[in-house]
Structures are given as structure tokens and as C-alpha cells.
């Protein structure tokens, strides 16, 4: 790929370095899940069984500005609404959710619309199993005229991608009590190829599989302080297993301070505060560490998020 493009400025050069990564990412995953530093709170992105777990009508949104200092770096916005089928009745078994996401990477823009459904099975008063289904569509647009192509006769970049629709279907499950949870999911089990005008495969889907879990530990008798360790493992064929470990400290169910680390060279710090019993605001910052070669080109990533619930924001997990 590096022989295809030629850019004049340093930033444009860095953008072209990222373009092969863009195609590589989509070749690996096809329907790439929206990235978030707070996967514990926005878990329905990767696991539909999490939908409606709060038991109340909930609205969540976040905006993410990734790889600061790199032109064409990912920009993401995401919003969701979820609710039990009968929010006025406690002990609901079924919940549904709708979400919308938009992400831009270089010359490409992707919109995602999805619906989630979850069903709860109770085995005893505090042990529950949740099963979930996800279905939706990705809409991809790519304007190759934004690139300066050295080989102008290369058919791969002569025809733009316009409103290409890629359906996806996912499954997930989780088991939890009031103090711990464990979930397994595949957000997209469909295998779909995207072709250019000359039938060259541009994007190829490979399913991602996720295992996540967490625990809530009270460190004082009154429950004023709580420590919440969590983990997320991601696996896809042909790539190493991705591991994320995190820990959060919650104070009086109002203030949360958190830290997470990926073994591939990414760390994240986050803070959130419940302004009222119904609204929470927060911020996360990601930065690279160790031998990650991308450190020289990016100063990190910013993410802002908001959660609103018509009940109390007192999730045991997060």
C-alpha cells in the first residue's frame, strides 16, 4: 500500500501510514465495533445481553477523538436508548435497545444502526442469566478522491464506495449477581465481503469474540468505598488475543476514578461524576506507553460520555 500514495506534508504522510491500517482493520473485522474507553458501561456495543440491565429506561452517549495529532484519525459518536419492555413493572424478563453510531476514518465514513434484545432467566434471588440478540446495518461511504494516488490507473481507487450496506447479526450471554458478572459474546457472526467496482475484495469480515467480567468489592462496612476490577478479552482469527485489565474506585455512588491497561501498549484514565441521581457525566483519556511505535505521532485520545437513567444511577457493576 505504501507505494500507492504520495503526500507532501508530514501530517498527510502520517495519514497515509494509517490508511493501510484502516483497510487491515476492516479486513479483520468487517463490522468493527465502536471503540470506547468505558466498555464496562457501554457493554451492549459488544454484548447485547447487557441491554436493559439497569432495569430502567436509560440513555447513554459518548464522543471519542482518537489519535490526536494525526490527520484522518478516527472520530466516533455513539448513542443508545434501552428499557425493559414494561419499565413500570419490576422484575422484567425482556428488554430492548436501539443504538446509533457514526465513525470517520480518513476518507471513509461509517454509520451504524442496531437493535438489541435481551431476556433474563432467574435461578435464585440474586443469580441471573441473560441472553441477547443484536441485529443492524453498517452504511459505509469512502471518497477516494481525497487521496493523492501515484498509480492513477489502479482500479482499486477509481470508484468510490457509496452507501454500501452491510447487515450484521450478533449473540451474547452473561451470568451475574449483584456483585459480579461474566459475559461472552460475538457482536457479528455474519461473513460479508465488500467489493470494488472491478470485483476486487476491499473489506472482509472476521467475527470478533469477547469475554468480559468484573467484580464489586466493598472495602468498608458502610459501602462508601467500592473497588471494581474488570477484564476484557478479545479474539479474532489470525490475530493475537487482546487483553484489557481495569480497576475503578467508586465513592458514595457519586464519584468514580478508573484506570485500565492493554498489553499491546495502551493505558486509559477516566473519571465520572453523578451530577444528580439520574445523570452522570465523565471523561477518559488514553495514551500509549512502552515500545508502541505510534507514540511519536499521537498525543493520545479523548472521550466524553453521558448517562441518563429514569431510575437511580447505582449500577453495582460500574
Region 100-111: mean pLDDT is: 92
How many domains does the chain contain in total? 1
198/30 Cα distance (integer angstroms) = 20
> Which residues make Cβ contacts (< 8 Å) with residue 25, sequence separation at least 6?
32
The yes-or-no verdict on residue 23 having pLDDT over 60 is no
Whether 314 is in a domain gets the answer no
Please report the pLDDT score of residue 223 as a whole number.
81
Domain that residue 245 falls in: 10-309
Q: Which three cell numbers stand for residue 238?
A: 489470525
Whether 294 is in a domain gets the answer yes
Closest CA to 110 of 25, 1, 234: 25
The yes-or-no verdict on residue 304 having pLDDT over 50 is yes
Please report the pLDDT score of residue 14 as a whole number.
41
Please report the pLDDT score of residue 153 as a whole number.
61
Whether 2 is in a domain gets the answer no
Please report the pLDDT score of residue 1 as a whole number.
36
- pLDDT, tens digit (0-9, with 9 covering 90-100), for 150-185: 665 666 666 788 888 889 999 999 999 989 999 999
Residue the block writes with cell 481495569: 246
Please report the pLDDT score of residue 107 as a whole number.
87
Whether 17 is in a domain gets the answer yes
Per the model's pLDDT, the better-predicted residue between 125 and 218 turns out to be 218
- pLDDT, tens digit (0-9, with 9 covering 90-100), for 134-155: 999 999 898 877 776 666 566 6
Whether 4 is in a domain gets the answer no
- Give the chain's mean pLDDT: 81
| CATH code at position 104 | 2.40.160.40
Region 254-262: mean pLDDT is: 94
Per the model's pLDDT, the better-predicted residue between 160 and 112 turns out to be 112
The DSSP secondary structure of the chain, one letter per residue, reads -TTTB--SSHHHHHHHHHHHHHHHHHHHHSSPPPP-S-TTTSGGGT-GGGTTTTSS-EEEEEEEE-STT-TT--EEEEEEEEEESSTTSSS--EEEEEEEEEEEETTEEEEEEEEEEEEEEESSSS-EEEEEEEEEEEEEEE-GGGS-BS-TT-GGGSS-EEEEEEEEEEEEEEEE-SSEEEEEEES-----EEE-TTS-EEEE----EEEEEEE-EE-STTS-EEEEEEEEEEE-TTSPPEEEEEEEEEETTTEEEEEEEETTTEEEEEEEEESSSSEEEEEEEEEE-TT-GGGGT---EEEEEEEEESS----S--
Per the model's pLDDT, the better-predicted residue between 155 and 77 turns out to be 77
The yes-or-no verdict on residue 289 having pLDDT over 90 is no
Region 230-237: mean pLDDT is: 93
Whether 3 is in a domain gets the answer no
Please report the pLDDT score of residue 116 as a whole number.
97
313/318 Cα distance (integer angstroms) = 10
Please report the pLDDT score of residue 9 as a whole number.
39
77/62 Cα distance (integer angstroms) = 6
Residue the block writes with cell 432467566: 121
The yes-or-no verdict on residue 113 having pLDDT over 90 is yes
**Highest mean pLDDT out of 13-22, 95-104, 150-159, 198-207:** 95-104
Whether 315 is in a domain gets the answer no
Please report the pLDDT score of residue 312 as a whole number.
61
Residue the block writes with cell 500514495: 5
Region 44-57: mean pLDDT is: 91
- pLDDT, tens digit (0-9, with 9 covering 90-100), for 174-219: 999 989 999 999 999 988 776 555 555 566 678 899 999 999 999 9
Please report the pLDDT score of residue 263 as a whole number.
82
Closest CA to 201 of 246, 156, 249, 251: 156
The yes-or-no verdict on residue 245 having pLDDT over 50 is yes
The yes-or-no verdict on residue 32 having pLDDT over 50 is yes
Closest CA to 93 of 59, 67, 118: 118
Please report the pLDDT score of residue 135 as a whole number.
97
Please report the pLDDT score of residue 313 as a whole number.
59
Whether 123 is in a domain gets the answer yes
Per the model's pLDDT, the better-predicted residue between 143 and 98 turns out to be 98
> How far is residue 155 from each of residues 5, 19, 24, 43, 197, measured CA to CA in Å?
14, 17, 19, 40, 8
Per the model's pLDDT, the better-predicted residue between 183 and 21 turns out to be 183
Amino acid at each position: 500500500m505504501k507505494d500507492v500514495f504520495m503526500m507532501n506534508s508530514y501530517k498527510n504522510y502520517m495519514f497515509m501510514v494509517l490508511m493501510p491500517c484502516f483497510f487491515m482493520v476492516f479486513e479483520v473485522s468487517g463490522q468493527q465495533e465502536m471503540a470506547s474507553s468505558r466498555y464496562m458501561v457501554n457493554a451492549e456495543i459488544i454484548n447485547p445481553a447487557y441491554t436493559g440491565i439497569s432495569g430502567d429506561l436509560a440513555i447513554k452517549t459518548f464522543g471519542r477523538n482518537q489519535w490526536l495529532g494525526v490527520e484522518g484519525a478516527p472520530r466516533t459518536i455513539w448513542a443508545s436508548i434501552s428499557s425493559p419492555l414494561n419499565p413500570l413493572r419490576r422484575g422484567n424478563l425482556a428488554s430492548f435497545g436501539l443504538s446509533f453510531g457514526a465513525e470517520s476514518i480518513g476518507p471513509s465514513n461509517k454509520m451504524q444502526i442496531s437493535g438489541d434484545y435481551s431476556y433474563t432467566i432467574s435461578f435464585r434471588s440474586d443469580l441471573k442469566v441473560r441472553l441477547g440478540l443484536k441485529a443492524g446495518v453498517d452504511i459505509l461511504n469512502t471518497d477516494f478522491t481525497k487521496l493523492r494516488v501515484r498509480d492513477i490507473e489502479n482500479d482499486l481507487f477509481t470508484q468510490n464506495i457509496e452507501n454500501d450496506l452491510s447487515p450484521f447479526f450478533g449473540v451474547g450471554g452473561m451470568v451475574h449477581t449483584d456483585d459480579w458478572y461474566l459475559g461472552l459474546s460475538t457482536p457479528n457472526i455474519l461473513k460479508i465481503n465488500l467489493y470494488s467496482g472491478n470485483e476486487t475484495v476491499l473489506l472482509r469480515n472476521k467475527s470478533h469474540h469477547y469475554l468480559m467480567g468484573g467484580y464489586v468489592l466493598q472495602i468498608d462496612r458502610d459501602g462508601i468505598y467500592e473497588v471494581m476490577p474488570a477484564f476484557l478479552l478479545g479474539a479474532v482469527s489470525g490475530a493475537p488475543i487482546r487483553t484489557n485489565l481495569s480497576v475503578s474506585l467508586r465513592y458514595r455512588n457519586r464519584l468514580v476514578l478508573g484506570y485500565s491497561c492493554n498489553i499491546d501498549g495502551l493505558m486509559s484514565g477516566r473519571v465520572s461524576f453523578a451530577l444528580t441521581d439520574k445523570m452522570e457525566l465523565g471523561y477518559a483519556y488514553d495514551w500509549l506507553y512502552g515500545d508502541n511505535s505510534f507514540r511519536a505521532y499521537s498525543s493520545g485520545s479523548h472521550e466524553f460520555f453521558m448517562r441518563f437513567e429514569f431510575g437511580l444511577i447505582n449500577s453495582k457493576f460500574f
